[in-house]
Chains A and B, each alone.
Chain A
Amino acid sequence: MIEVAGVEREFAKNGRRIVALQDIDMTVGEGEFVALLGPSGCGKSTLLNMVAGFDHPTRGAVRVAGESIREPSPERGVVFQEPALFPWLSVMQNVVFGPKTRGERAEAYGLRALQILEQVGLRGFEDSYPAELSGGMRQRVGIARVLMLESKVMLMDEPFGALDAQTRSLMQELLLSVWERHQQTVLFVTHDIEEALLLADRVCVMTARPGRIKKSIDVRLARPRALEITASPEFNALRLDVLALIREESQRAASQAA
């Protein structure tokens, strides 16, 4: 479904070239949930932005369903780190922004919007404005408006990174239940090991600058998953594996810096 082949991304900063991503090869199968895990500054958001169409590779190709990506499209819904809601629109207006802007008729999406708001636990808040909502509720609107697009691919850029620990767990469970229902292909960027293992079928661990994919780890934990799984021995074993990889990586980065 998502295909990243030989991708490199360079930035020019103060006349110097910085290689943010190098030799990235990865695929995400249809209906697969893949987490990109890495330290901040490893280029994982850059990679996600290229799949979204906000950014373009310096070398190599990013394809979705066989087609090269040129620009953003409702085929690839994005949930941002900040909810990025339109503050002048109500919850309902934010959620139906996509279909409405593309000229769909209200009868076609009105009922679906209510169902999706129900799924993300926002019924009764249709007329509220983003400023009246908590951080977790705002991010639910961010997820709901992407579900409205009915895109095959959902891209999530540390969507729960700014939330407190308790809200984050609630949102992870919510995402699991929503994903089990909609079965989209998901690329999920995070720096939280437990979050990656809890949600994903596969975790791609990235290295720090230049960003590369160090290892891809299959997460063979039964679905449907719930938060309790994080206390299981299998989960713990996976966590230690990933932790060892990341520690190796951060030591390498530290020795380079010194």
Chain B
Amino acid sequence: MRAPWFLLVPAALAALWHFAVDLRWVAEGVVPSPAQVLRSWEIWIFGSAKMTISPYAGTWLDNVTYSTRRVLQGFGIAALVAIPLGLAIGWSRLAARLIDPTVQLLRPVPITAWLPFAIAVFGIYDASALFLIGLGAFYPIVVNTTHGVRDTNLLLLRAARMMGAGPAAILAKVVFPSALPSIFTGLRLGIGVAWTAVIVAEMIAVKSGLGYVLWDAYYVGRMDICVATMFSVGLLGYLSDRVIVWASKALLRWRSLEAHA
């Protein structure tokens, strides 16, 4: 069996954390110990309100579900809009002239800066969160799709035209598959932004989900729950990224052949 080297750095960091708290390198009561965080996390997940007085007991799954659903919805809407739009911008000069400048001007506006606007327009509801998540995930997907389309090998386009393919067939059978690796890059970046956006949105614009718990726990001084929330978001972000990587590997098997050639 191969030694699990990947555990070395996390174990060292956990040890450092443990001793920093244990030896009072950090102010007492500010940073919880790893053991404390694990205990609180366990109660948060498995506890029931009858057994403890913790208001968090047993609410983990609900909040994870809220956040995950928002991420998937916002991300899904973003992908459905951004992929066709990116194909259009990359493919048609007219679409590029019409749409691309607006996208490039709006893109530098940080997603956090949209927060007051979103709340003013959509209120303290899901729609605010979905707007921010969707907008945040939209940019990397549209930009990478456009890039992928423009990167299509000219010879492949010529070959398709020579074999009698019309514009629609070229778009569907040459440009889209050729851009697919870039599209997946955009989706991976997009899901990352989506998790950032959901936490920001839930901290301020809605009253449920991991972001809401994070801010609430901070207010009542439950740093152990804050840290457990951070780990939870990290895990979920990691898992959703793995799902996209898995899907891309399944769809882009020809690329792994190229890498080995």
* Interface size grouping (class) on chain A: 20 to 34
Given contacts A86-B174, A86-B177, whether A97 and B155 have CB atoms under 8 Å apart is no
Is the CB–CB distance between A97 and B163 below 8 Å?
Answer: yes
Is the CB–CB distance between B162 and A78 below 8 Å?
Answer: yes
Minimum CB–CB distance from A20 to chain B (whole Å) comes to 18
User: Scoring A residues 123 to 146 as 1 if CB is less than 8 Å from chain B, else 0, what string do you get?
Assistant: 000000101100000000000010
Residue among A72, A76, A82 with the highest chain B CB neighbour number at 10 A: A72
Size of the chain B interface, CB-CB below 8 angstroms: 24
16 of the cross-chain contacts (CB-CB < 8 Å) are A52-B162, A54-B161, A72-B162, A73-B162, A74-B162, A77-B162, A77-B163, A78-B162, A80-B155, A84-B158, A84-B159, A98-B163, A101-B164, A129-B254, A132-B257, A132-B261
Minimum CB–CB distance from B2 to chain A (whole Å) comes to 29
Is the CB–CB distance between A54 and B158 below 8 Å?
Answer: yes
Q: Who on chain B is nearest to A132 by CB? A: B257
Residues of B at the A interface (CB closer than 8 Å) are: 153, 155-156, 158-165, 169, 173-174, 177-178, 180, 252, 254-255, 257-258, 260-261
Given contacts A86-B177, A101-B173, A131-B254, whether A73 and B164 have CB atoms under 8 Å apart is yes
Is the CB–CB distance between A145 and B163 below 8 Å?
Answer: yes
Q: Chain A contacts of B255 at CB under 8 A?
A: 87
Inter-chain CA distance A86–B165, complex, in Å, is: 13
Q: Who on chain A is nearest to B259 by CB? A: A131
Contact of B160 among A52, A76, A97, A132 (CB under 8 A): A97
Minimum CB–CB distance from B228 to chain A (whole Å) comes to 43
Top 4 A-B pairs, shortest CB-CB distance: A98-B163, A84-B155, A131-B257, A74-B164
Q: Chain B contacts of A82 at CB under 8 A?
A: 155
Residue among B155, B163, B174, B257 with the highest chain A CB neighbour number at 10 A: B163
Inter-chain CA distance A102–B170, complex, in Å, is: 11
Is the CB–CB distance between B159 and A78 below 8 Å?
Answer: yes
Q: Chain B contacts of A129 at CB under 8 A?
A: 254, 257
Inter-chain CA distance A87–B260, complex, in Å, is: 14
Q: Who on chain B is nearest to A133 by CB? A: B261
A30 at interface (Cβ–Cβ under 8 A)?
no
Is the CB–CB distance between A84 and B257 below 8 Å?
Answer: no
User: Scoring A residues 90 to 110 as 1 if CB is less than 8 Å from chain B, else 0, what string do you get?
Assistant: 000000011001100000000
Q: Who on chain A is nearest to B161 by CB? A: A72
Minimum CB–CB distance from B256 to chain A (whole Å) comes to 9
Q: Given A72-B161, A80-B155, output 11 extra A-B contacts at Cβ < 8 Å.
A: A52-B162, A54-B158, A74-B164, A76-B162, A86-B173, A87-B254, A88-B178, A88-B252, A98-B164, A145-B163, A149-B163
Q: Chain B contacts of A85 at CB under 8 A?
A: 159
Minimum CB–CB distance from B83 to chain A (whole Å) comes to 17
A71 at interface (Cβ–Cβ under 8 A)?
yes
Inter-chain CA distance A72–B164, complex, in Å, is: 8
Is the CB–CB distance between A74 and B261 below 8 Å?
Answer: no
Inter-chain CA distance A53–B158, complex, in Å, is: 10
Contact of A80 among B158, B161, B260 (CB under 8 A): B158
Q: Chain A contacts of B254 at CB under 8 A?
A: 87-88, 129, 131
Is the CB–CB distance between A88 and B177 below 8 Å?
Answer: yes
Q: Please report which residues of chain A, range 44-62, place their CB below 8 angstroms from some CB of chain B when the two chains form the complex.
A: 52-54
Inter-chain CA distance A77–B173, complex, in Å, is: 19
Inter-chain CA distance A149–B160, complex, in Å, is: 12
Is the CB–CB distance between B162 and A101 below 8 Å?
Answer: no
Q: Chain B contacts of A88 at CB under 8 A?
A: 177-178, 180, 252, 254
Residue among A53, A76, A87, A88 with the highest chain B CB neighbour number at 10 A: A88
